[in-house]
Structure 1
Amino acid sequence: MRVAAGAAGFLLSLTAIPISYLLNKLSAMDSPMVVFATGAGVLLGLLLVLYLLVIGRPPTDPLFYAFAVFSFTSVIDLIISLEQDGYINGFMGFYMKEGEPYLRTAYGILICYWDGTVHYALYLMMIAAITLRWRYRSVGLYWLGSIIMSLVTLLLGTVVGKFGTEIRPAFLLNVPYVLIPIWAGKKIYRMPRALPQVMAEQVAAEQRKWLYRRPLDVCFIIYLLFAAAYILFKGFIALECSFDICDSYAYDQEPYLLDPVMYAKIQVLVNMFYLVPFFGLALYGLIEPGCEWMPDLTVVFAGAIAQAQFSYVGASLHPRTSFTYRIPQEIVPSFLYTNIFFAVGAQLLAFRCVTCSNFFLKGMPRNTEEMEKKVN
């Protein structure tokens, strides 16, 4: 029965394909209010159908329903991105016209690609974990960082950018995607951590090591310093710093920062105000032993940085971005190397903190008996 609930969530997500095709054929979908009402009705209808499908033995975790509905919208987003890039046709044209026209931008398309692939995979993983009663705390935290980063950039960029005058009622359909991740994030964070099978002596031995005896952490510290400087520099450009080096970099290296669509500028500012403090905390956590928050924090920000870099880099090279604001062809290799290094570094840091967490632990049991008491 638990497996059947997971299968129901997966199959429900695939109904996005026929539903979007049928709605696109309806002549009534030429009104913004009708599109909004239809979108809200479809989401509520899916929730009801899902409830009826699993009514015999519903999952104990209410996040199952949220992830199942979100997986449906992930398939919708994948359809949007594929249609906007010309791979398919006849599915979501009505929504691009009277729903959320800003998704036709390069940044909107890349965000839809991410939601339709990475987020979709994460939803299916979490649905499977819930139905099989497995742990999914780290996967959930990674998803949380990713979806919050995408929403903050998309919604702020839409309001303050050139599409601010084209906001339709369907913009309100994003409200659940703001509120539900906050609720889900609190529940996921409160889930019990997986307790490593180590003793206090092992933890103490690791935490007594000076920094020079931890060469991997030295590499991560260098990465964090580079990443903070890189983000601050681009943030100054977004804030229209008057230094010649900022103007030169913006016009010759990354003209996408000057795009009036504004998603690039908002992304860089969000990075500056949120990622730079994280880099500072991560530096402290790699130097000072016993920072138990490090594994969780690095996982959340790994998801945020991965999403941000995918969307930013992809949109800056996408044909939908005006040629004037696209990355110059001769700069593309160095631009890709720098941004891939920035994104991958965050993923490796999170992996190190989660899989080799002895340095960040405190209050570990001194013997097997204390270990059993702590676990139970």
Structure 2
Amino acid sequence: MVDATKPKSVPIAIALISLLAIPFSYAVAYLSFFHDNPSAVLGVGVIALVLPAVIAYALVFRHMPDNVRKDPFLYIFTVFAFACVLDLLIGFTLMGYTDVMAWYFASGEPYLNTAHGMAINIWDGTVHYALYLTIAYQMAAGKSYRRTGLIWVGSMMGSGMVFLVGNLIGVFANHVEPSYLLNVPFMLVPIFIAWRIFGQSSPSSSPAASAGTMATGALTIALLSLAGFSLFRLLVAFNPETGITSGWAGIEPYLQSPMAYPRLQIAVYAFWLAPFCLIAALSLWRTSSQGISHWAWIFVGVVCQGQFAHIIAGMSDKNEAAYQIASGSSATFVIANIAVAAVVVWLALRQSAATK
């Protein structure tokens, strides 16, 4: 029996309610009426976005203190966790472990039936799911969720920008169904969470920690290198035939995939991550600010999610053979892409230590 008066009961309740997505998905798969009716698919999606929150209130949250019962984000996270289980089932379907969600690719979101779609659904069903449970507990217990919340914000925003825009301009532009609208809440909620976190944090700054040391110099070089590498990969993605880019195009042919996702991912890095790296490199030698620390953790989410999706999709056999990462260059591809994430995590840890 879950004790509905304790903070730990919140993530437990969310986890238990989210598992209802399994029988829900099998029931919808059995009812073939939905399979050829995009409007019906949208209706089922709306039910999936409402029902978990109602169940959570009726069984658990109404018995909790005001900070839980009246916090809309806990209800939203219950819904999103439910969606995570559905996404995990989609990922398993694409990996061939089940066929329970196979119908959804025809009438729901056909663009999920791609290497990128598989990768982002696996990420959502594992990492985002764990973040929902963690943040829900931190909220219920009155603990700080700044770091976990900002990582989630970055992960959701980065994923959404690449996925939603890629669907509209890529090969699936003529196959966008009404269920596409179900993605809108997943882009709006992170903005409000970020607004809350930034509002709760009092502006603070401290002298630059360890300025002039080898560690600071090394991180500065790493950030400048990451900015340069991001711009270089943009050239590879859009102009792979020149001498300076052709070599890397052979290592990372996925950048030339007719799917828009890899090019959009690199564009996000070139136009969003690279400028931040330059600003962050400068901040290492000046007063450390809470704002840089906040944005560093947001970019941890952006880059970790982006690199996971990019690596998994690039090496997946769901791509055409011409765009798959060759076995001979896979080590270089993986190491280079992991290094991108490692630099951003290094910055976030360093900035957090400097602003404590």
Q: Distance between the aligned counterparts of 2:191 and 2:211, measured in 1?
A: 38
Higher Rg of the two aligned structures: 1
Aligned partner of residue 293 in structure 1, secondary structure: helix
CA separation of 1:210 and 1:24: change in aligned 2, threshold 3 A = closer
Corresponding position: 1:238 with 2:237:
yes
Q: How does 1:353-368 map to 2 (within 5 A)?
A: 353-357=351-355
Q: Distance between the aligned counterparts of 1:125 and 1:258, measured in 2?
A: 38
| Counterpart pick for 2:43 among 28, 34, 37 | 37
| CA offset digits 1:155-212 (Å, max 9, x no partner) | 11111110111111110101111111112221122223699xxxx9xx65x65x551x
Q: Distance between the aligned counterparts of 1:163 and 1:67, measured in 2?
A: 29
Note if contact 1:137-1:193 (Cα within 8 Å) is conserved in structure 2: no
TM-score, normalised with respect to structure 1 = 0.87
Note if contact 1:5-1:131 (Cα within 8 Å) is conserved in structure 2: yes
Corresponding position: 1:73 with 2:83:
yes
Corresponding position: 1:84 with 2:94:
yes
Aligned partner of residue 289 in structure 2, secondary structure: coil
Q: How does 1:291-310 map to 2 (within 5 A)?
A: 291-310=289-308
Equivalent residue, structure 2, for 1:279: 277
Q: How many matched pairs?
A: 346
| CA offset digits 1:27-62 (Å, max 9, x no partner) | 112211111111112211222222222223351432
Q: How does 1:221-236 map to 2 (within 5 A)?
A: 221-236=220-235
Equivalent residue, structure 1, for 2:178: 169
Note if contact 1:81-1:113 (Cα within 8 Å) is conserved in structure 2: yes
Corresponding position: 1:27 with 2:32:
yes
Corresponding position: 1:15 with 2:20:
yes
Note if contact 2:50-2:79 (Cα within 8 Å) is conserved in structure 1: no
Equivalent residue, structure 2, for 1:256: 254
Aligned partner of residue 327 in structure 1, secondary structure: coil
CA positional deviation for 1:241: 6.5
Kindly provide the amino acid, as one letter, of the partner of residue 63 in structure 2. Answer: G
Q: Distance between the aligned counterparts of 2:50 and 2:21, measured in 1?
A: 14
Corresponding position: 1:131 with 2:140:
yes
Kindly provide the amino acid, as one letter, of the partner of residue 175 in structure 2. Answer: E
CA positional deviation for 1:270: 1.3
CA positional deviation for 1:337: 1.3
Kindly provide the amino acid, as one letter, of the partner of residue 346 in structure 2. Answer: L
Q: Distance between the aligned counterparts of 2:321 and 2:241, measured in 1?
A: 24
Note if contact 1:305-1:346 (Cα within 8 Å) is conserved in structure 2: yes
CA separation of 1:290 and 1:354: change in aligned 2, threshold 3 A = closer
Kindly provide the amino acid, as one letter, of the partner of residue 65 in structure 1. Answer: Y
Q: Distance between the aligned counterparts of 1:70 and 1:322, measured in 2?
A: 32
TM-score, normalised with respect to structure 2 = 0.92
Aligned partner of residue 93 in structure 1, secondary structure: coil
Corresponding position: 1:178 with 2:187:
yes
Q: Distance between the aligned counterparts of 2:24 and 2:241, measured in 1?
A: 51
CA separation of 1:136 and 1:332: change in aligned 2, threshold 3 A = same
Aligned partner of residue 303 in structure 1, secondary structure: helix
CA positional deviation for 1:5: 3.5
CA positional deviation for 1:239: 3.0
Kindly provide the amino acid, as one letter, of the partner of residue 42 in structure 2. Answer: F
Aligned partner of residue 325 in structure 2, secondary structure: coil
Equivalent residue, structure 2, for 1:56: 63
Kindly provide the amino acid, as one letter, of the partner of residue 193 in structure 2. Answer: A
Note if contact 1:141-1:189 (Cα within 8 Å) is conserved in structure 2: no
Q: Distance between the aligned counterparts of 1:234 and 1:105, measured in 2?
A: 22
Kindly provide the amino acid, as one letter, of the partner of residue 236 in structure 1. Answer: L
Note if contact 1:24-1:90 (Cα within 8 Å) is conserved in structure 2: no
CA separation of 1:185 and 1:291: change in aligned 2, threshold 3 A = closer
Kindly provide the amino acid, as one letter, of the partner of residue 89 in structure 2. Answer: I
